[in-house]
Chain A
Amino acid sequence: MPPTHATRLVSDVLDKQLVQGRKKLGKVDGLVIVLREGKPPRVGYIECGTAVVARRLGRWCERLVLALNRRFGVREHPRYRIPWSKVKEIDINVEVELDEHPLLAWEEWLSKHVVGRIPFAK
């Protein structure tokens, strides 16, 4: 269950390390608030990915990343959303429970195609 006590989104969640067990998945690059008619807004998703990070540095950076991703991208979408319901715990790290890890696409691609081919890497 996601934490129910008061959580300060920017200071307690944004830019924290995202983990599942001992795997570091990345960091909390963005937070998505869902506006609902007649109800208070709700934290919908954690956003991750290079394009999300890039947007925070400036539009030019986002455009650059999107262009690079189209050309060289390993990941289908440079933005990835994790539903808030998948958040298990917010402590030193933000612990999530996911069934698949598209966030590690680059890590796995590099591991398979580059690093893994160098001797003594495994």
Chain B
Amino acid sequence: MKSSLLQIALGIITSIGGFLEVGSIATAAQAGASFRYGLIWAIVLGTLCLVFLIEMSGRLAAVSEHTIADAVRERFGFDFAIWPRLAELLVNYLVLGAEIGGVCLGLKVLTGIDARWWAVPVALILWFALWVGTLDIIENATSILGLLTIAFVVAAVKMHPDWIPLARGAVAPVFPPRSESGQYWFTAVSILGATISPYMFYFYSSGAVEDGWKEKDLPANRVTAILGMSFGALMSIGVLVVSAQVFNPRGIDIKRYEQIALVLTPALHQWGWPIFGISLAVCCFGAAVEISLASAYSMAQTFGWNWGEDEKPASRARFSLTYTILIFLSIIPLLLGVDPLKQTIVSMALTAIVLPLAILPFLLLLNDEKFVGTHRNGPIGNAVVTFTIFMAAIIAIVAVPLEIVGGG
């Protein structure tokens, strides 16, 4: 039996791995460089939605002993469930490639060796960690290393940001003039896509079922969702603020990851460069772990296969093969020389497109007595999910045109 403290660790890795990853670092850095504090609200809003959705994933798992993918298959039928799962698998493939690309870029920052050379070793290490490791080992190792990302917050504070405009950016932003609004809204959409990632729900609820959560774990689940996600958001805001302090006054737009690598140097001097490299590599590695597992979990659960990270691969052959194949296929774009920043931004926008289908079931499942008994959503929870679905639907419709207007 695990203590509540250990359970909260599951949330922390979900927040580090799922929150601060290649997508959020890239989008937050771009936002800070181009619009100073003007897009902090997007991180805050995305996090608020995410806290509710993660809490619901955990609650569903604890009360019904069903993961999200299980529950969707049972409640809506396999012939519905398979389509969003396949769409997500495609998006996960691209996002996983971007995360592995992020690890490689982190290693490039540290060693100077070109990112492409790192793709195969990183994929092997990732695969090996999943193949031999248990959920606990991977979780704890990544969370401890991930604490290094506090460096972004330390750097943000050391650079003496203007606290009043910063607070305004979080709650009452001033929108930019018309000429810049295409890029502004595209960046906002990318931040929301990077923040509310569907794979987190599958990972979190599967972890909760694997760890055998019960109703008594609901308070710990709530604390985890709130603390874990806020912690992640704080790091993300840290990235945005340092980027705003360093790049915005100089009028630098971010076009390449190598530019972002300079972001910690003014505050942390000679430590800035290596700390950025390690942070990027660790965060992206954590996210890659989650995406690989989440994809295998959701496929196994949709088809009824044996699954579980804590069992030997031979007894979970189809589950283990799913992440194995996905990991090794995902590095193909990287090996072919696709720009990791472009792949990141495109995959964040695609995430936004699959989002409405991924979260619509929450509204029904979390109000269904058969699944959650007396622990149904309250009016606030339902309002937030409804709002998120509408927001996600609007984003899904505008993401592609905005990408053409603002992303290019």
Contacts and interface: CB of A to CB of B under 8 A. Distances in A.
A30 B236 CA distance: 47
Contact of B315 (A16, A92, A111, A118): A111
Contacts of B320: 115, 121
Interface stretch (A18-26, A64-72, A77-85): A18-26
A62 interface: no
A119 B73 CA distance: 34
Given A92-B65, A115-B314, A121-B312, A53 B321 contact: no
B304 A24 contact: yes
Contacts of A27: 73, 78, 303-304
Contacts of B321: 110, 114-115
A29 B78 CA distance: 8
Nearest to B76: A15
A22 to B, nearest CB: 9
B209 to A, nearest CB: 11
Give the one of A16, A24, A114 with max B CB within 10 A. A24
Interface string A68-104: 0000000000000000000000001000000000000
Contacts of A107: 305-306, 317-318
A57 interface: yes
B131 A120 contact: yes
B77 A14 contact: yes
A33 B66 CA distance: 28
Nearest to B127: A118
B82 A57 contact: yes
B303 A106 contact: no
Question: Interface majority SS on B: helix, strand, loop or mixed?
Answer: helix
A110 B318 contact: yes
Nearest to A14: B77
Given A17-B70, A110-B321, A111-B315, A24 B78 contact: no
B304 A26 contact: yes
A122 B304 contact: no
A41 B89 CA distance: 41
A115 B307 CA distance: 14
A2 interface: no
A106 B319 CA distance: 12
A24 B302 CA distance: 12
Nearest to B128: A120
B304 A92 contact: no
A19 to B, nearest CB: 9
A111 B66 CA distance: 26
Nearest to B313: A121
B162 interface: no
B67 to A, nearest CB: 10
A116 B132 CA distance: 13
Interface in A27-63: 27, 29, 53, 56-57
Given A24-B307, A107-B318, A115-B321, A15 B77 contact: yes
A121 B131 contact: yes
Contact of B313 (A16, A57, A118): A118
B296 to A, nearest CB: 13
A111 B317 contact: yes
B383 to A, nearest CB: 27
A25 to B, nearest CB: 7
Nearest to B301: A17
Contacts of B303: 26-27, 53
Contact of A92 (B66, B131, B313): B66
A110 to B, nearest CB: 4
A25 B70 CA distance: 14
Contact of A15 (B78, B131, B305, B313): B78
Give the one of B304, B306, B312, B313 with max A CB within 10 A. B304
Nearest to A107: B317
B78 A56 contact: yes
A120 to B, nearest CB: 5
A65 to B, nearest CB: 13
8 contacts: A15-B73, A15-B77, A53-B78, A111-B317, A116-B317, A118-B131, A120-B132, A121-B314
Interface of B: 64-66, 70, 73-74, 77-79, 82, 131-132, 303-307, 312-315, 317-318, 320-321
Given A24-B304, A27-B78, 15 more contacts: A15-B78, A17-B70, A18-B304, A26-B303, A27-B73, A53-B78, A56-B77, A56-B79, A92-B64, A107-B306, A115-B320, A116-B317, A120-B313, A121-B314, A122-B312
Q: 10 shortest A-B CB distances, which residue pairs? A: A27-B304, A111-B317, A110-B317, A26-B304, A121-B314, A115-B317, A121-B313, A24-B306, A56-B79, A122-B314
